[in-house]
Amino acid sequence: DAGVTQSPTHLIKTRGQQVTLRCSPKSGHDTVSWYQQALGQGPQFIFQYYEEEERQRGNFPDRFSGHQFPNYSSELNVNALLLGDSALYLCASSQDRSYEQYFGPGTRLTVT
Amino acid sequence: GNSVTQMEGPVTLSEEAFLTINCTYTATGYPSLFWYVQYPGEGLQLLLKATKADDKGSNKGFEATYRKETTSFHLEKGSVQVSDSAVYFCALLYSSASKIIFGSGTRLSIRP
């Protein structure tokens, strides 16, 4: 079992650009959550996808959007990048309503 | 709102010392409580969990007890090793909400 995988590992973008991050959940999991972890901080919940729909959302602007595909994999899109979007973006997968979420290694996004 | 407050770091100990990292939470109802660990350059790993009051979670020599009366979930280990050096996050989750709320993390460094 490969566990949760994320791509790319690192990414450097310029202010104003758009970025897409990808996540493949652990086998058997149908729910994907995304978190943003700024340097020296705990992860902050962005949103969660289940059955290809956004089920819950944290306090993030509409520039952050996502998608879940029929195979349960997911994408996180961020438009009009700001310097403050520089962070480690973590994907977590779980079975529906399970308390146990498994995290991927993250994508390190740097905005210059 | 729901929140988690944990002991600020960094914490530096000598090998074989006793470890305590304090964590308190604010929540309505009865959340599940977790400790996650993040090793350098890696994503989050679930270290231990407790789903109801008075439960004790344990793993790899670490323990934490869910104390409803003091709204606490302190992490302890009797004898730390250099390999325990990492950042530790206390967290809570309501299964119905399915989003994890993290503390800000405590960096632990163990000297040989």
Note the pLDDT tens digit of each residue in A98-112.
778 899 999 999 999
Which chain A residue has its CA at the smallest distance from B32's CA?
A99
Task: Find the mean pLDDT for residues A73-92.
Answer: 97
Which one is predicted more confidently, A54 or B95? A54
- Identify which of B45, B36, B30 has the alpha carbon closest to the alpha carbon of residue B93: B30
Instruction: Identify the residue whose tokens are 């992860």.
Output: A43
| A36 interfaces chain B, CB cutoff of 8 Å | no
| The residue type at A25 | P
Residue A75 scores a pLDDT above 70: yes
Q: Is beta strand A44-50 parallel, antiparallel or unpaired with respect to A31-37?
A: antiparallel
Residues A11 and A19: their CA atoms lie apart, in Å, by: 9
| A25 interfaces chain B, CB cutoff of 8 Å | no
Collapse the DSSP code of B36 into the 3-class scheme (helix H, G, I; strand E, B; otherwise coil) and give the result: strand
Sheet containing strand A64-68, edge to edge, reads A5-7, A19-24, A74-78, A64-68
Residues B90 and B84: their CA atoms lie apart, in Å, by: 16
What confidence tier does A89 reach under pLDDT thresholds 50, 70, 90? very high
Q: Which of A48, A98, A104 sits opposite B99 (nearest CB)?
A: A48
- Identify which of A90, A112, A111, A86 has the alpha carbon closest to the alpha carbon of residue A102: A90
DSSP B64: E
Which one is predicted more confidently, A95 or A6? A6
| B95 interfaces chain A, CB cutoff of 8 Å | yes
Task: Find the mean pLDDT for residues B51-55.
Answer: 93
Q: Which of A44, A48, A90 sits opposite B98 (nearest CB)?
A: A48
* Residue of B4, B7, B44 to mutate, testing the A interface (most A Cβ within 10 Å of its Cβ): B44
- Identify which of A77, A110, A94 has the alpha carbon closest to the alpha carbon of residue A33: A94
User: Does the beta-carbon distance from A56 to B101 stay under 8 Å?
Assistant: no
Per-residue pLDDT tens digits for B61-76: 999 999 999 999 999 9
